[in-house]
Amino acid sequence: MVLKVAIVGCGKIADGHVEEVRKMPELACVTAVCDLESLMAEQLARRYSIPAYYGDFEMLLNKERPDVVHIATPPASHLALARMALTAGCHLYIEKPLTLNLRETEELIRLANEADRKLTVGYSYLFDPPSLEAHKLVNSGYVGDIVHIESSYGYNLAGPFGAAMMGDAMHWVHRLPGKLIHNNIDHLLYRVTEYLPDDRPDIHAKGFVRRTVRYGDHRDDLLDELRVMVSGANATANVTFTCGARPTGYITRIYGSVNTLHVDHTNHTLIAEASSYLPGAFGRIAPAFHTARRYLKQGIANVGRFRRADFHYFAGLNTLLGRFYQSIQDGTEEPVPYRDILRISWMIDEIIQQTAGNVANL
């Protein structure tokens, strides 16, 4: 059965959803889109020749009867829209952050279980090629025991989304409990929880305002730097969100008792850093050449993927959607375990609580 997919929220990310669904016609097809601004829905539908568009979500559900709904609206609306979709019998893909807090996340998962519908969240970088390869290496024992994880994410406030957000005091990001960090920290945390299994690790968070631009309103309180130390029973993690560092990037380093992995999610590279066993000066010279060889190998592999039209920005989203749709078809487990979703939601609440009212200027 080909699943009928509807998308609610027709901003920029919706284009990526449509394009990735179209790459798996054997599993799903986008049949309708919806946005409160009906012109946005109409434009998306016309760009991709989608049969139907709506300005009213309830009308879409009643008329189209989709199997799956993708919710790509601002986070404050996620829970209400999800309730409507679950009542209509739909499975749910929801962009991050899933909800505004742990209480809402627990309610949403409970509602999905009661409705016997599947739910997943947009943790797309977990499923990009370097992440999947790193996961295989860790599971194979290549790194040994996990000792420490570093997860860092760079954000450009002068970029298209950042500039629009800072230029509009009423932008929905400013209404999130954790503002900009709340909208991005999932990407940092799901790379930690993948390798740190503790339900309630010890967390110490500190937020900063580094930028010099001042607006004279609540935008001045928006944190643009975050540092978090996470301590589990057997491993630790550092989480860094920065708007000041250049170039911006998304990096994960996994330190093991045997080897270390360096995952560059932006440039789609995975470098395995092994210990050198050569004596003296040779032991200090050789690693640079080994690292260069590994980068060359990654570059060649990426060229091959590019030639096969398989080197694209939404590779992780494609894999995540494919696995989610397959889980619906087969009745198997969701690609992102609910336990991990709940752990991340708890960590976000803890970080927001610790940084609220604890803002320092750098």
Which strand ranges, in their side-by-side order, compose the sheet holding 146-154? 269-273, 260-264, 250-256, 146-154, 236-242, 225-231, 202-209, 359-361
Under 8 Å between Cβ of 93 and 69:
yes
pLDDT at res. 283: 65
Residue 220 has pLDDT above 70, yes or no: yes
Residue 211 token pair: 């930028």
DSSP, res 343: H
CB-count burial class (<10 Å; 0-12, 13-18, 19+) for 324: buried
Question: How many Cα neighbours within 13 Å face the side chain of 82?
Answer: 31
Task: Specify whether the CB–CB gap between 271 and 295 falls below 8 A.
Answer: yes
- 344 three-class SS: helix
Q: Which of 27, 33, 9, 136 is nearest to 81 (CA)?
A: 9
User: Range with the lowest mean pLDDT among 64-73, 122-131, 133-142, 276-285?
Assistant: 276-285
Mean pLDDT of all residues in 98-110? 98
Residues 6+ apart with CB under 8 A from 170: none
Q: Which two tokens stand for residue 209?
A: 């305002």
Side chain identity at 152, as an amino acid letter?
A: S
Is the pLDDT reported for residue 359 higher than 60?
Answer: no
List the structure tokens of 246: 């250049």
Which stretches of 109-235 are assigned E, i.e. beta strand? 119-121, 146-154, 202-209, 225-231
How far apart, in whole angstroms, are the C-alpha atoms of residue 107 and residue 36? 25
Please report, rounded to a whole number, the percentage of residues in the chain having pLDDT higher than 70: 95
Question: What pLDDT does residue 290 have?
Answer: 76
- Mean pLDDT across 70-89: 98
Give the model's pLDDT for residue 274. 66
Give me the chain's average pLDDT, please: 94
Compute the distance between CA of residue 17 and CA of residue 35 in angstroms, rounded to an integer: 15
pLDDT tens-digit readout, 47-63:
999 999 999 999 999 99
- Which residues have a Cβ under 8 Å from the Cβ of 113 and sit 6 or more positions away? none
Beta bridge partners of 240: 152, 227
DSSP H or E stretch at residue 144 = none
Read off the pLDDT of residues 270-327 as tens digits, 9 standing for 90 and up: 999 866 666 667 667 777 777 788 888 888 888 888 777 677 889 999 999 999 999 9
The yes-or-no verdict on residue 360 having pLDDT over 70 is: no
Q: Mind listing the domains of the chain with CATH numbers?
A: 3-121 (3.40.50.720), 126-310+345-361 (3.30.360.10)
- As a whole number of angstroms, the distance between CA 151 and CA 228 comes to 10
Classify 193 as helix, strand or coil: helix
